[in-house]
Amino acid sequence: MSKLTLYGYWRSSAAYRVRIALNLKQLAYQQKSVHLVKGGGEQHSADFQALNPSELVPVLVDGDVRLNQSLTIIDYLDEQYPNVLLTPVDKERRYLVKALAQDIAVDIHPLNNLRVLQFLTQHLDASDAVKKEWYRHWIEVGFASLEKKLATAHGLYCVGDEISLVDVCLVPQVYNAERFEVSMEPYPIIQKVTRSLIQHPAFEQAAPENQPDAVVST
């Protein structure tokens, strides 16, 4: 088996997803931290640009394979290491899982990632209050629709009683929502599912505060 290396950052939602997936599959991997803030952001360095010209984490290296984009990385892990599948084989459940995961990773997260928030501050002179309002608005819009979809899909987890790609995407997004003081009271299903998931060892081990590069005060 190739040695897996994950380039990420402790607070990156996308890297958090990949850590969860690796842990669920019980795959050993080396972490290399790319600090997204220090010195203007290590993702902008020449060394990291050579690894990923998009200047974003995560990047997974598996032997000669080098991948970015968390959902693609997890698809790759499912194909190469299928001991635990995060996208079901069953057609109906498979595409429901993919759609719900993309509701989070494609529709909600990109509007609120670090470079968007930095642009609001650095180029549009947005105050911290305006930035938080932006963040909360898009989380609330996304979570409101997700809550309705989960009403008919969830069991113990987002889709039935087996952990899937949706759960892998949900927990990092809830983590960030709570960090920005978004009230979770309007989303009881999301709350219930998240409470179950964060007790799982794979999710606990992947939590930002448990990463070697974590700086809780930052």
**Model's pTM, two decimal places?**
0.95
- 26 belongs to a structural domain: yes
Same domain, 103 and 171: yes
Give the structural domain span for 21. Answer: 4-85
Same domain, 68 and 16: yes
For the chain, what is the domain count? 2
- 211 belongs to a structural domain: no
Non-local (6+) Cβ contacts of 83 within 8 A are 25, 26
Same domain, 96 and 132: yes
Same domain, 102 and 80: no
CATH at residue 59: 3.40.30.10
Q: What is the pLDDT along the chain (218 residues), one digit of tens a residue?
A: 458 999 999 999 999 999 999 999 999 999 999 999 988 999 999 999 999 999 999 999 999 999 999 999 999 999 999 999 999 999 989 999 999 999 999 999 999 999 999 999 999 999 999 999 999 999 999 999 999 999 999 999 999 999 999 999 999 999 999 999 999 999 999 999 999 999 999 999 999 999 999 986 44
Give the separation between CA 47 and CA 173, rounded to whole angstroms. Answer: 29
At 217 the pLDDT is 46
Non-local (6+) Cβ contacts of 37 within 8 A are 114, 218
Non-local (6+) Cβ contacts of 161 within 8 A are 155
**3-state DSSP helix/strand/coil percent for the chain, to nearest 5?**
60, 10, 35
Q: What is the DSSP letter of 170?
A: H
Same domain, 137 and 102: yes
Same domain, 66 and 96: no
Same domain, 100 and 193: yes
Give the separation between CA 152 and CA 131, rounded to whole angstroms. Answer: 33
Q: What is the DSSP letter of 11?
A: T
Helix (H) or strand (E) holding 67: strand 65-68
Same domain, 163 and 147: yes
CATH at residue 127: 1.20.1050.10
